Amino acid sequence: MDFDSVFIYPGGVSRRQLINSGCGIEDDSGGVSETTSFLKRIRNTSRKEYLAYCTGLEQRGYQTVFLRDVPSGFYRTFLTEYGMVHSYYTPARRETRIVLDRSGVPVNVFTEKDPVFIRPDTELMQFSLYYGPMIRGLSADCGMMYVFRLRTSELIIIDGGIREQATEDAMEEFVKRVRELTCAEEGEKIRIALWICTHAHDDHMEFLPILMRTHPGLFVLKRMLFNFPPRSFPGMSACVDQVKKDLRLLAPDALCHKAHTGELLQIGNAGIEILLTGEDLYEGRRDRYSFNGTSVILKIETEGFRTLIMGDAERANCRILTERFGESLRPCHFLQAAHHVINDLEDWYAFVQADWVLAPQGEENIRKRFSSQYEGIVRHTSPDRILLAGSATTVFRLCEEKIEKTDFPPVGHPFP
């Protein structure tokens, strides 16, 4: 391939073969396409060698559009004739990863410039979905949906439930809640500044396109952020093709960006840091983690409060986070419980010591199936600060470093 030259690295140990790291909003069900991204991993390297690599790209005339040096790593993005080259060096592992991203827009274009603030506060909502046994066509024991209402009165939506949770009553309740959050009147559009999808499983992505399709013209989706592996990756939900197709039709003007480790985004008054993506685990083999490990893990800061979004993170993700970021992950005010409290990650909860744990799960499933995992959280966070999404929709108003909490009854039932 003619773009191999952007992967030439002065030092370290690397495999010759490039790793297919997926595309963006485009359809890659047919295999490698013009928008497929590729990754190269270099082990046993140094900061000096990494910076020499970046200097080489600059000397070739490539424009730097993102630069960040922090204790967790050194991050650079360049524009080349082949696409965006995002690279990062992590001192904890003495490793460099280089991603040629041929889809979406650069981070400097994606990030919001000079937003207009019309509210004095921000709100964070854990939206209640119906949780039951996993019965296809009827109910699900997973799914999650979080919303930030920004000072701009726009929304950041994170994930969304599975089709079985997208009942008419649930969608109407969601519309009611976000109308109240944004103060949008009947006939007024609700603007979604950003939709973030942590990973390509149906219980994290089906709700939003169904919502937009059944409420035509109500929502304006401005941006999409995710990092999906290639369509051929084992474990990816087949619905990803339809979800992408729906979003291309429903939001043709929305900007799409493939999230990369180390990036910082400013959307309204929300500062979003990409802590980890599946690109941190890719090694050319698929035997060390399941598809849940490809979750994009984020830190979102608003009004002086930190929220960690974990998706369906596994032990491997948590190990890298602890190794790379250490004490800087604290304080954590809101922590989304990883993988619907299905994973036993007590060491992680003990390390983070979150003020509030937001658990996308129902009480019955916790009691009957995941009680031991739940107890592992209780040992490190007070039970009255562990909020189950199946029990209520909870809205936190964040203002001047104060928190006001309001609960709303859950609205949900088996499908349809």
The domain of 73 spans 4-103
Whether residues 196 and 294 fall in one domain: yes
In order along its 416 residues, the chain shows pLDDT tens digits of 678 889 999 999 998 889 999 999 999 998 899 999 999 999 999 999 999 999 999 999 999 999 999 999 999 999 999 999 999 999 999 999 999 999 999 999 999 988 999 999 999 999 999 999 888 888 899 999 999 999 999 999 999 999 999 999 999 999 999 999 999 998 899 999 999 999 999 999 999 999 999 999 999 999 999 999 999 898 899 899 999 999 999 999 999 999 999 999 999 999 999 999 999 998 866 546 789 999 999 999 999 999 999 999 999 999 999 999 999 999 999 999 999 999 999 999 999 999 999 999 999 999 999 999 999 999 999 999 999 999 999 999 999 889 999 999 999 777 65
State the pairing for strand pair 38-43/63-70.
unpaired
Report the CATH number at residue 64.
3.30.310
Residue 157 belongs to a domain: yes
Residue 108 belongs to a domain: no
- Tell me which of 47, 73, 103 is where a domain ends: 103
What is the value of pTM for the model shown? Answer: 0.96
Whether residues 238 and 89 fall in one domain: no
Whether residues 126 and 99 fall in one domain: no
Residue 275 belongs to a domain: yes
- Tell me which of 103, 138, 163 is where a domain ends: 103
- Tell me which of 70, 103, 136 is where a domain ends: 103
Q: By the 8 A CB rule, do 412 and 161 touch? A: no
Whether residues 47 and 171 fall in one domain: no
Whether residues 98 and 234 fall in one domain: no
Residue 112 belongs to a domain: no
Helix (H) or strand (E) holding 273: strand 270-276
Q: Which class for 186: exposed (0-12), middle (13-18), buried (19 or more C-beta within 10 A)? A: exposed
Whether residues 129 and 202 fall in one domain: yes
Please give the pLDDT value at position 287: 45
Residue 111 belongs to a domain: no
Residue 114 belongs to a domain: no
Whether residues 275 and 335 fall in one domain: yes
Whether residues 209 and 343 fall in one domain: yes
Cβ contacts of 407 within 8 Å, gap of 6 or more: 392, 393, 394, 395
Q: How many domains does the chain have?
A: 2
Whether residues 178 and 97 fall in one domain: no
Residue 115 belongs to a domain: no
Residue 116 belongs to a domain: no
Compute the distance between CA of residue 219 and CA of residue 226 in angstroms, rounded to an integer: 19
Report the CATH number at residue 176.
3.60.15.10
Whether residues 86 and 163 fall in one domain: no
At residue 416, the 3 state secondary structure works out as coil
Cα 245 to Cα 235, 248, 276, 333, 387, distances in angstroms: 20, 5, 26, 36, 34
Whether residues 363 and 235 fall in one domain: yes
Whether residues 149 and 282 fall in one domain: yes
